[in-house]
Amino acid sequence: MLAMARTRSHSAGREVWALARAQHGVVTRAQLLDAGLSRAAIEHRVQRGRLHCLYPAVFVVGRPELTQQGRWMAAVLACGASAALSHTSAGELWGVIEARGRPVHVSLPRPVDRRPVGITTHRRDRLADWVIEHDGIPVTSPSQTLIDLATSLTSRHLEAAVNEADKLDLIDPDSLRAELEHRRGVRGVARLRLLLDRRTFRLTDSELERRFLRLVCKAGLPLPETRRRVNGLIVDFFWPELGLVVETDGLRYHRTPAQQARDRRRDQALTAAGLTVLRFTHAQVRFEPDAVGATLRRVIARLGRAAA
């Protein structure tokens, strides 16, 4: 009899560890009971330091230290089976905004109204329609996450998030626009649509490039194409009707001699192909926008006359 009890205990222990590995180190009391542990066995493991209570009915298995994914998973489990990570927490999980240790946000379906201490909760209708699983964690879809981010981020950070989502192949602007057309009236949709429809919005790889596009618009110049392959190279900005290429050098990626030499070879290859190439530094775009705009206007005017 004692041997059978030990066997059941070992079997339950293996199931708990497997579940914890799949859930970033956390389990719920209900899952422990389903695995075959009694309430007394759970309490014994808590007292022995093998389970650590993080939220009511949510435990860390083994060591109390958790990864960020573990903390997110614990928060979702604490809010119930139908809950999902959302808002800035979902943005961090998807990788479209920078992780900064923000409060954890979790969405719950109406009429559920759980509010565990330390978790910011949001109740919403039809939540299940916008939830998928990423890295083993229930989370709002990329498009729903961007809609939620539109309710709190600045325009600059929201634009960066949309660009990052596209860069990670989570969404593309055309599909996102189409989805937003069917979600009119949802909080955040109007602001996100305004961003996508704004004249200066283009897909870019960095804040420097987005700043450059705003500079172009302010100078009253036609907007270029971005991320275009020209003569076998992906360039920052391209005016095809003028044969003009502009590259912007960020602080981080253009400092080393090797990188600078590669930039020169790129410029020379494009010039040899009959294109006009301009290269502006981070400092010029940020601190000398009027001078950059004036240079662009003169070059574009000259190329326009030559093409006429």
**Per-residue pLDDT reduced to its tens digit, 52-63:** 999 989 999 988
Q: What is the pLDDT of residues 241-272, one digit of tens each?
A: 999 999 988 755 445 666 778 889 999 999 99
CB 162 within 8 A of CB 180: no
In the CATH scheme, what is the code of domain 207-307? 3.40.960.10
Q: How far, in Å, are 35, 43, 63, 223, 245 from residue 47 at the CA level?
A: 19, 6, 13, 65, 67
Whether pTM exceeds 0.95: no
**What pLDDT does 254 receive?**
47
- Sheet of 225-230: strand order equals 225-230, 233-239, 244-249, 276-281
Least confident of 11-15, 27-31, 80-84, 263-267: 11-15
Cα–Cα dist 308/136, whole Å = 58
Residue 75 tokens, joined: 């928060």
Cα–Cα dist 156/198, whole Å = 13
* Percentage of residues of the chain with pLDDT beyond 90: 56
Domain boundaries, the chain: 11-66, 69-197, 207-307
**What pLDDT does 65 receive?**
85
3-class SS at 21? helix
